[in-house]
Amino acid sequence: MDYEVLAKQILEKVGGEKNVIGLVHCMTRLRFTLKDDSLADKVEVEAIRGVMGVMEKGEQFQIIIGNNVGAVYKELCKLGNFDGTPDPDFKKDKKKQNIFATVLDVISGCMAPVIPAIIGSAMIKVLLTVLPMMGLLNNKSQTFELLNVISDGAFFFMPVLIAISAAKKFKTNPYYAASLGLILLHPNFIEMINKAHEANETLKFFGLIPVSYAVYAYSVIPIILAVWVLSYVEPFVDRITPAITKNFLSPMLVLLITAPIVMVIVGPLGSILSDGLSTIIYTIHDYLGFVAIGLVAGIYPFIVMAGMHHAFTPIKLSMIATTGYEAFICIAEFCSNMAQGASALAVSFKTKNTDLKQTAGSSAFSALVAGITEPALYGITVRLKKPMLGACIGATAGGLVGGFFQLKSFGVATPALVTIPQYIEEGRPSSLMYILITAAVTISVSFIASYMIGFEDIPNPEAEVVEPIVTKPLNTGLKMGSPLAGELVSLATVPDKTFADGLLGKGFAIKPSLGEVIAPCDGIIDVFFETGHAIGFTSETGVELLIHVGIDTVNLGGEYFTAHAKAGDRVVKGTKLLSFDIEKISQAGYDLITPIIVTNSQEYLDVVSHPKKIVTELEEVLTIV
């Protein structure tokens, strides 16, 4: 690969030399700090040959290169005067938003981290619909009731989950925040406020201050407002409490001040706002009828692109908690997802570009079957532009059909073909036929429209000289020990797609219990990153190993890491290579999960990690054949 050409292509797509105010690299990726993020075209960067992916974290535009990142970095430095770190006096101009956009952004930001828990619970609810229909589970049985508790837990205690993500959003203590959610859901508080409401009375603090009636289970907005208030109370209390009393007085005052404010003012206000937002949305539905579903389905991709789709989640949850179903947004989402998948499928059929054909096909499958539309949306329809029109036409058509049939959703699992059971209405067998017709109309119209409208195809790149892959003879590999002690977990659990998706090779990960890394076998240290967080190691048998301590720990700049070896050292099995302070790194907010990758996995028949849970240093964990 020509690294000079690759570097020039990357620099052009991130906005040129003048747009770069800082550039560093870690073991796998280039980390740009840009003056204007809008000048960096993420889709076009991802399309460059040699780029494995793009991530945007904080103020960094990160381009995943892999093992050759150092070579690309050197070529980039030849093209511009990049000193590694941004100008400390440079501050990005933050875009000003109106109040409505800001509110939606906050709700979306608080909802996004909670989505996996919601999806998991919702999928169990889908099972509770399917299994009784198939005669595999009695809906009067204890097993059904227990599964129902499991499926409902995340929804009932939604304020606690939201509190944790809201605490990160507002930069306040997550445990105080979770405590506020638990207070609102405490059985005694619920019983007291319900009894007062049923008796047409008002619960009062000190017999004077009224606590208005509100239902907080399944709610979202009240707890977001509560944590927002907490973010002001906590620093205020910290300022007024003497240092000698902070350990016990500060926590007491934080809760003693915040909780009553939440019970008396913020909670009820949030409940009113939530009801008001739902009223606005469903007034549109009531006024336009099934036409509203078609319109929302058609524009839904643009709502997703704006990052506001998560803001609909509290509205859907509130409606399902109140009526048992949702008949507007969920139907529009389903049609939008089907349309994106069908449009990507049309591209896969029509394109002559072999890479695009494969990408579009896998994106279509992801959207249609699993409801994951980002690959189709960002990688196909937005990228090629015209297929987006076909998807919008198909989604609108499907939304009109679904609305006409008065479809309802009884869950909030990701809209997809596999979650169709959540649209089946008890006592209305025809609802299954209606949802299937809606899916068929959406998919067929989107496919035909996208195929007929067409798009500007991407030409096949010139054939590159492919270096032959050298496959090691069978059984010449290595049974390798663990370089760390701790809990062995699947690479897929690492919260970084570079490692989790196997872009750098196969391997495993360790959640360390001891802060040291030792040589897992005899070999030589190829790379010992100056920040200490990553080591490149080659065994005497030729296995290339990457040991990456923690996620994004490069940002610590070497703090809390102590090197006991250096690049070029030849070491024997068991030699201490690195020590690190687990407690301080964790307190700094970094995840210490450590990916251990065989970076030349392609040279072997297979790389297999052993099914262990807890491992000690040098305990056998890997077989390479």
Active site residues: 26
**CA angle at 260 for the pair 257 and 266, rounded to the nearest 5°:** 105
CA distance 109 to 104: 8
b/e per residue 426-443 (b: at least 16 CB within 10 A): eeeeebeebbebbbebbb
Sign of the torsion formed by the C-alpha atoms of 553, 559, 562 and 567 = positive
Asked if 51 and 65 touch (Cβ cutoff 8 Å), the reply is: yes
Q: How far apart are CA 506 and CA 398, in angstroms?
A: 42
Helices 329-350 & 430-453 angle (0-180, nearest 10):
40
Residue 294's nearest CA partner among 338, 346, 336, 343 is 336
Tokens describing residue 467: 């270096």
Q: Which long-range contacts (CB under 8 A, 24 or more apart) does 470-477 make?
A: 470/603, 471/603, 471/604, 471/605, 472/542, 472/603, 472/604, 472/605, 472/625, 474/605, 474/625, 475/625, 476/541, 476/625, 477/541, 477/543, 477/604, 477/623, 477/624, 477/625
Integer-rounded Cα radius of gyration of the chain: 27
From first CA to last CA, the distance across the chain in angstroms is: 28
Q: Walk across the sheet containing 60-64 and list its strands.
A: 20-25, 29-34, 60-64, 53-57
Please tell me the distance from the alpha carbon of residue 591 to that of residue 486, in angstroms, as a whole number.
14
Three-class SS state of 617: coil
Question: CA 82 to CA 14: how far, in whole Å?
Answer: 14
- The Cα–Cα gap between 364 and 371 comes to 10
DSSP E strands in 18-100: the ranges are 20-25, 29-34, 53-57, 60-64
Distances (CA, A) of 98 to 95, 101, 216, 304: 10, 5, 28, 19
What residue type is assigned to position 317 of the chain?
L
The burial class, CB within 10 Å (0-12 / 13-18 / 19+), for 117 is middle
Q: Which of 380, 401, 383 minimizes the C-alpha distance to 445?
A: 401
The H-or-E segment that residue 592 falls in is: none
